[in-house]
Amino acid sequence: MDELLQFLIAGLKNGSIYALVALGFTIVFAATGAINFAQGEFFMLGGMLGVFFAGLGLPLPMAAVAAIAATAAIGAVFELLAVRPIKGGDPLRIIMVTIGGSVLLRQMALHLFGPDELPLDPFTEGPSLKLLGAAVERQTLWIWALTGLAVVALALLYRRTTFGRAMRATSIQRDAARLVGVNARAMVTASFALAAALGAVAGLAVAPLTQASFHVGAGMGVKGFAAAILGGLGSPVAAVGGGLLLGLLESLTAGYIDPLYKDAVALVVLLVVLFVRPQGLFGGSGRVKM
Amino acid sequence: MRGRTLKLSMAVLTAALAVSLAVSLAVMTAACGEEEAAEGGEPLKIGAIVSLTGTYAGLGEPEKNVIEMEVARINEDGGVNGRPVEVIIEDDATDEAKAVAAASKLIEQDGVVAIIGATGTGQTMAPRGDVQRAGIPQVSMAGGTVITSPVDPLVFATPWSNLIVVPFTLEHIKAQGITKIGLITDSGGFGKDGQAVIAAVAPEVGVEVVSDQTFNPGDTDMTAQLTKIKNSDAEAVVFWTAGAEAAIIVKNAVDLGIDLPLFGSHGIARREFIDGAGAAAEGVKFAAGKVLIPEAYGEGTEAYTVATDFIDRYTAAYGQAPSTFAGHAYDALYLVVEAARRIDGEITPEALRDEIEATSGWVGIGGTFTFSPDDHNGMTVGDLTMYEIAGSEWTLAE
Amino acid sequence: MGGRTLRALAPLAAVAVVALLPLVVTDRFLLKVFTFAGINALVVVGLALLFGHAGQVSLGHAAFVGLGAYASAYCTVRLGWPWPVGFAVAGALAALGGLVLAMPSLRLKGHYLAMATLGFGELMALTFQEAEPVTGGVDGFGGIPFPSLGPLEVGDAAALYWLVWAVVGVAVLAAYNVTSLRPGRAMRALHGSVPGAQASGVDVVGVKVRTFVVSALLAGLAGALYAGVVGFISPSVFTLTASVTFLAMAVLGGTGSLAGPLLAAVLLTLVQYIDALIPGLPQEASQTIQSYREDIYGLAIVLVVIFAPRGIAGLWSRRGGRGEAA
């Protein structure tokens, strides 16, 4: 029984990370109608920049904030330089540009920080906690807390602020939003910054467990996208659900079938959902909803 | 309209190909010129294929450093039988196609008598066809068992193989009174090979694998596998991987409250493992060659002198202690050079291959090499020692 | 003056230059580099058809190359079949894979195929690694013989070069016909506007699926050639990185012409072997270029998509004073 509990804890831990990355996909998709292939690289940058700022001597909380802010800024600059110049916002060309951009971001990290894995201290030191016979790492609690915080903050941003309402309006109807005075272009830039920040939070939270490395972006991008597709690309809530579900599926597969199939789970889920129910499990009509 | 555009495009294509052709011609001419210039010195040409870029850049760079440093030293001492040694180093970019092209270049353009390399197992295996056709010996610095097992008459390897590290490690475990182990290995080449060797050797040693777990390279969480080991009646955990995941395994094990002894492979003989695992690395044991702590060779022995001399010179030249991979490059280079020195007449690839295979009791960094027609790895369990991580440093176990 | 004649002769001249290269260049190393360029070109011609003429991108073509490579290796080594049969099986299996993948995903809107190919590519990469009895796993599959046509073994560097480029030639010819004739027009119409194409009676999904299958077939054949030329294959060759490289070549080559992608494939392949082309280039310089190779690919994609969406082919057709009127 404690075995099952341990698998569930591991699944929800990884699932939370997938959820944050998946959220990034849905935010950019809502604003542009395109998939941002560089989303995984924002995850990678969060960890790498966290290590970098901590290495400069900043205390961990400051280093974390700096890493998230820097990644968000990189996301915004990325949008301004690469995505905005595309006339008409053709989603196919946006996808292509983010493919090229993801390669550049990864290579930039490689040239700046080197090929080795870089360690980051846990947010709180100490032995793991016991929960009904299962062990919970302290860092796992941090991952859950930060994921919860990010989701709540995002919900408040969307529902309570003018900025959030403008983002939602843009995602529903770009032209109509512009008519009522929303700067749609700024909204696209903001969506990239926001998506980058969410990716960075995930990358930072997981770095003390796995170490940061320049090459982890693409793999996490696929997992995050599978989670987003599983839940439904149109809705942030569905993306979080998809992330947690994917994490649990992986963990139970590793625990009860064979760990070798763990990575295949996300890929099979991705293909099957694309083919059978492209609007996702929790998506209704496939329309964009917030 | 479209037809014309296409034809026009063809014109441009023609022009481009003509340019490539002209460039190739220039290369040919230049290459011919170089060959003539080299006639006078008659250097002994050896090729080296290392990964200076790509995934294995971190391993290939020290290998290149060692080769350059030692070639200079060999030539200062008069070279090989009066001839200077020239090692032509090619970067395979951790890419198999590139390794094949590099081998073609070394064989065809440079006319080397032996090839050192490559850094990785795939890059060692990929150029086999070209090397075989040319009939020249190849000494690899990669650790895959597949390189020397089954034995290929032309191919030798210098790293410690799982075939000696596994028995050594299991004997050590058995000596601690442990008979039941939980095993966790990666599904990549190193771990899969280790898993197979452990499964074969464990019954002979009298150790039982009570839980056999695997994970994929790149996995970030091993709690599922470790929970199963924890719930088995294992008395020790053996983890066999050379990747960054090793640090995750020991951290997860500590977090799950597993207080069994942890045994790793020689793949964790890297600073990155200690840095990555932090406090969780304390008490982890692993077997490897003696180069990490030369005292293990026994002070005053020839091996101790060779190793400390090498470590001192490398540290002086590059500002840091050599990695184990640097040691593999040292051994690969000298196995070729020492064999060439033993040849009286013309140094042909065939004669060189035979002499390398005849190497007996040569003391290198990885250990003492004795090759035979059945053994192209050449080391024994006697070349290994058991390390324990204590105070974030390697120490000799016991 | 003779401009028209020149243009008519240009394709012939191009063929002559490619065909005669081994007579001039006798260095096996250089020939091998140009052989690799030909193998890449074969994949890129297929991708260019898909991208330029059907408005689709694939991030999984390395998987089709791998499928073809393993299929031909298995047929020739394990089953002992003649090489041409293995070559045909390689193409057929890759085409079948393409069909299975394209049928469901092409019914959906644009970007889903890209994601499906990405997932497919990663899944195949895992399969190559895990299906050890067939693929040899991470240790790779070695001892693959040279291609042979009947009793004739194609083992000489020049012969391999000719074989590869002959296949490229046939593929280009086939692609040229596809783009000049009716289905081609249909495919281009797709790139412009799907409703427009539908209105003019084009079976949109059918054309897209067929194009994708053709591109997968070419990639499979390229894989079989790669296996024969190198003699050793392993999962680390057929990865997302390779797929992105192929995509960069196709994007740089551009739409509306096949000469562009061919040229781009050759040029970007040579980036990797720069030391072969420029004699006396210091090792540091070629190593720097090597370290920044992927940056070059990434940058090529970004710059071309933003500034020259029709690739290098677009540059010269614009200079020639004609746009994409047809």
Cβ of residue A263 closer than 8 Å to a chain C Cβ: yes
Checking if the pLDDT of A146 tops 60, the result is yes
Contact C122 A267 (CB under 8 A): yes
Cβ of residue C244 closer than 8 Å to a chain A Cβ: yes
A108 or C188, which is more confident: A108
B129-132 CB contacts, 8 Å cutoff, 24+ apart: B129/B100, B129/C230, B129/C231, B129/C232, B130/B100, B130/B103, B130/B104, B131/B103, B131/B107, B131/B155
User: Nearest Cβ partner of B146 from C139, C279, C316?
Assistant: C139
- Mean local confidence (pLDDT), A221-245: 91
Residue A263 inside a domain? The answer is yes
- H helix intervals, chain B: 2-38, 57-76, 96-104, 121-125, 128-134, 162-175, 189-205, 223-231, 245-255, 271-277, 302-318, 324-341, 349-357
Residues C248/C272, Cβ–Cβ less than 8 Å: no
Q: What is the pLDDT of residue B1?
A: 39
Cβ of residue B251 closer than 8 Å to a chain A Cβ: yes
A172/A161 Cα distance (integer angstroms):
17
Cβ of residue B361 closer than 8 Å to a chain C Cβ: no
Asked if the peptide bond before residue B261 counts as cis, ω within 30 degrees of 0, the response is no
Residue of B186, B173, B175, B189 lying closest to B239 (CA atoms):
B186
Residues A218/A107, Cβ–Cβ less than 8 Å: no
Residues B328/B144, Cβ–Cβ less than 8 Å: no
Nearest chain A CA: its distance from C16 CA (Å): 35
Bridge pairing between strands B393-396 and B384-390? antiparallel
Compute CA distances A130 → B1, B223, B260, C96, whole Å.
Answer: 75, 14, 18, 52
Nearest chain B CA: its distance from A198 CA (Å): 19
In 3-state terms chain C splits into helix, strand, coil percentages (rounded to 5) of 80, 0, 20
Residue A290 inside a domain? The answer is no
Nearest chain B CA: its distance from C5 CA (Å): 11
Residue of B152, B145, B89 lying closest to B121 (CA atoms):
B145
Compute CA distances C81 → C72, C86, C95, C131, C159, whole Å.
Answer: 9, 7, 20, 21, 21
Q: Please state, rounded to an integer, the average pLDDT across all residues of chain B.
A: 87
Task: Please state the φ and ψ torsions of residue C21, each to the nearest 5 degrees.
Answer: -50, -45
Quick one: pLDDT band at residue C190, thresholds 50, 70, 90? low
Q: What is the pLDDT of residue A287?
A: 43
Q: Tell me the two tokens of residue A176.
A: 């109509």
To the question of pTM greater than 0.95 for the whole model, the response is no
Q: What is the pLDDT of residue C71?
A: 97
Which residue in chain C has the smallest CA separation from A80?
Answer: C306
C313 or C44, which is more confident: C44
Q: Tell me the two tokens of residue B216.
A: 């994929």
C219/C120 Cα distance (integer angstroms):
15
Phi-psi region of B337 (alpha: psi -120 to 50; beta: other; left: phi over 0): alpha
Residues C86/C140, Cβ–Cβ less than 8 Å: no
In A, which residues are within 8 Å of B55 by CB distance? 115
**Tens of pLDDT, residues C136-163:** 888 888 889 999 988 888 888 899 999 9
Residue of B361, B359, B339 lying closest to B351 (CA atoms):
B339
Q: Is A56 helix (H, G, I), strand (E, B) or coil?
A: coil
Q: Tell me the two tokens of residue C213.
A: 């299958």
In B, which residues are within 8 Å of A219 by CB distance? 218
Residue A286 inside a domain? The answer is no
B98/B126 Cα distance (integer angstroms):
9
B161-166 CB contacts, 8 Å cutoff, 24+ apart: B161/B377, B161/B379, B162/B190, B162/B193, B162/B194, B162/B197, B162/B265, B163/B197, B163/B377, B164/B377, B164/B379, B164/B380, B164/B381, B164/B383, B164/B384, B165/B265, B165/B266, B165/B287, B165/B288, B165/B384, B166/B194, B166/B197, B166/B198, B166/B201
- Mean local confidence (pLDDT), A260-276: 88
The count of residues in chain A is: 290
Q: What is the pLDDT of residue B184?
A: 96
Checking if the pLDDT of C291 tops 70, the result is yes
**Tens of pLDDT, residues B232-263:** 999 999 999 887 889 999 999 998 889 999 99
User: Nearest Cβ partner of C244 from A99, A225, A264?
Assistant: A99
Nearest chain A CA: its distance from B275 CA (Å): 7
**Tens of pLDDT, residues B76-99:** 998 998 899 999 999 888 888 889
User: Nearest Cβ partner of C27 from B14, B31, B193?
Assistant: B31
Checking if the pLDDT of C320 tops 50, the result is no
Contact A92 C122 (CB under 8 A): no
Residues 6+ apart with CB under 8 A from C157: B104, C22, C28, C31, C32, C35
CA atoms within a 13 Å half-sphere pointing along the CA-CB vector of C308: 21
Nearest chain B CA: its distance from C154 CA (Å): 14
Residue A287 inside a domain? The answer is no
Contact C10 B11 (CB under 8 A): yes
User: Nearest Cβ partner of B9 from C143, C257, C325?
Assistant: C257
Quick one: pLDDT band at residue C197, thresholds 50, 70, 90? low
Q: What is the pLDDT of residue B6?
A: 45
Residues B49/B116, Cβ–Cβ less than 8 Å: yes
Question: What secondary structure does DSSP assign to C82-101, as a single string?
Answer: -HHHHHHHHHHHHHHHHHHH
B34 or B55, which is more confident: B55
**Tens of pLDDT, residues B267-292:** 888 888 898 888 899 999 999 999 89
Cβ of residue B244 closer than 8 Å to a chain A Cβ: yes
Nearest chain A CA: its distance from B44 CA (Å): 35
Quick one: pLDDT band at residue A74, thresholds 50, 70, 90? very high
Q: What is the pLDDT of residue B74?
A: 95
Quick one: pLDDT band at residue C185, thresholds 50, 70, 90? low
Q: How many other CB atoms sit within 10 Å of the CB of residue B347?
A: 20
Question: What secondary structure does DSSP assign to A142-173, as a single string?
Answer: HHHHHHHHHHHHHHHHHHHSHHHHHHHHHHH-
* Interface probe with C: pick from B8, B110, B214, most Cβ of C within 10 Å: B8
- Mean local confidence (pLDDT), C48-77: 91
Nearest chain B CA: its distance from A13 CA (Å): 9
In C, which residues are within 8 Å of A274 by CB distance? 104-105, 108, 112, 115-116, 119
**Tens of pLDDT, residues B144-196:** 888 998 899 999 999 998 999 999 999 999 999 999 999 999 887 788 889 99
Q: How many other CB atoms sit within 10 Å of the CB of residue A176?
A: 12
Residue numbers of C between 140 and 199 with CB closer than 8 Å to B: 140, 142-143, 157, 176, 179-180
Checking if the pLDDT of B35 tops 80, the result is no
For the ranges B22-31, B74-83, B138-147, the lowest mean pLDDT is seen at B22-31
Q: What is the pLDDT of residue A54?
A: 95
User: Nearest Cβ partner of B227 from A6, A130, A263?
Assistant: A6
Contact C297 A103 (CB under 8 A): yes
Residues B52/B94, Cβ–Cβ less than 8 Å: no
Quick one: pLDDT band at residue C199, thresholds 50, 70, 90? low
Nearest chain B CA: its distance from A211 CA (Å): 7
In B, which residues are within 8 Å of C257 by CB distance? 5-6, 9
Quick one: pLDDT band at residue A288, thresholds 50, 70, 90? very low
For the ranges A165-174, C255-264, C316-325, the lowest mean pLDDT is seen at C316-325
> Subunits that touch chain A (at least 3 Cβ pairs < 8 angstroms)?
B, C
Residue A233 inside a domain? The answer is yes
Cα A8 from chain centre: 21
Cβ of residue B225 closer than 8 Å to a chain A Cβ: yes
C56/C60 Cα distance (integer angstroms):
12
C11/B5 Cα distance (integer angstroms):
12
Residues C14/B17, Cβ–Cβ less than 8 Å: yes
User: Nearest Cβ partner of A82 from C59, C244, C302?
Assistant: C302
Whole-angstrom distance between the N-terminal and C-terminal Cα of chain B? 83
Among A178-192, B342-356, C4-18, C303-317, the range of highest mean pLDDT: B342-356
User: Nearest Cβ partner of A210 from B187, B220, B257?
Assistant: B220
A171 or C254, which is more confident: C254
> Subunits that touch chain C (at least 3 Cβ pairs < 8 angstroms)?
A, B
Residues 6+ apart with CB under 8 A from B275: A119
Contact B244 A117 (CB under 8 A): yes
Whole-angstrom distance between the N-terminal and C-terminal Cα of chain C? 25
Q: Tell me the two tokens of residue A274.
A: 């694309």
Phi-psi region of B236 (alpha: psi -120 to 50; beta: other; left: phi over 0): beta
Residue A125 inside a domain? The answer is no
B234/B227 Cα distance (integer angstroms):
11
B272/B325 Cα distance (integer angstroms):
14
**Tens of pLDDT, residues C56-66:** 889 999 999 99
Asked if the peptide bond before residue B118 counts as cis, ω within 30 degrees of 0, the response is yes
Q: What is the pLDDT of residue B14?
A: 53
Q: Is B366 helix (H, G, I), strand (E, B) or coil?
A: coil
Cβ of residue B19 closer than 8 Å to a chain C Cβ: no
Q: How many other CB atoms sit within 10 Å of the CB of residue C285?
A: 12
- Mean local confidence (pLDDT), B18-26: 53
Residue numbers of A between 243 and 262 with CB closer than 8 Å to C: 260
Quick one: pLDDT band at residue B337, thresholds 50, 70, 90? very high
Contact A99 C292 (CB under 8 A): no
Cβ of residue C317 closer than 8 Å to a chain B Cβ: yes
Q: ∠ CA C9-C15-C18 to the nearest 5 degrees?
A: 140
Quick one: pLDDT band at residue A290, thresholds 50, 70, 90? very low
Q: Is A282 helix (H, G, I), strand (E, B) or coil?
A: coil
Q: ∠ CA A144-A150-A152 to the nearest 5 degrees?
A: 100
User: Nearest Cβ partner of A274 from C55, C115, C244?
Assistant: C115
Q: What is the pLDDT of residue B213?
A: 92
Domains of chain B: 41-159+299-379 (3.40.50.2300), 163-294+384-396 (3.40.50.2300)
Q: What is the pLDDT of residue A90?
A: 80
Residue A288 inside a domain? The answer is no
Contact C279 B17 (CB under 8 A): no
Which structural domain range is residue A208 located in? 2-118+135-276
C263/C259 Cα distance (integer angstroms):
6
**Structural domains of chain A, count:** 1
Residues A16/A147, Cβ–Cβ less than 8 Å: yes
For the ranges A198-202, A256-260, B386-390, the lowest mean pLDDT is seen at A256-260
C194/A99 Cα distance (integer angstroms):
24
Q: Is C150 helix (H, G, I), strand (E, B) or coil?
A: coil
**Tens of pLDDT, residues A167-192:** 777 767 766 666 666 777 888 899 99
Q: Is B50 helix (H, G, I), strand (E, B) or coil?
A: strand
Quick one: pLDDT band at residue C323, thresholds 50, 70, 90? very low
Q: What is the pLDDT of residue B36?
A: 38
Q: Please state, rounded to an integer, the average pLDDT across all residues of chain C.
A: 83
CA atoms within a 13 Å half-sphere pointing along the CA-CB vector of B334: 22
**In percent, how much of chain B has pLDDT > 70?**
90
Q: Which CATH number goes with the domain that contains A203? A: 1.10.3470
**Tens of pLDDT, residues B104-139:** 889 988 899 999 989 988 899 889 888 888 899 999
Among A176-190, C7-21, C78-92, the range of highest mean pLDDT: C78-92
Residue A123 inside a domain? The answer is no
Checking if the pLDDT of C321 tops 50, the result is no
**Tens of pLDDT, residues A50-64:** 999 999 999 999 999
Q: What is the pLDDT of residue A283?
A: 65
Quick one: pLDDT band at residue C297, thresholds 50, 70, 90? very high
Q: Which amino acid is at A6?
A: Q
Residues A97/A83, Cβ–Cβ less than 8 Å: yes
Cβ of residue A155 closer than 8 Å to a chain C Cβ: no
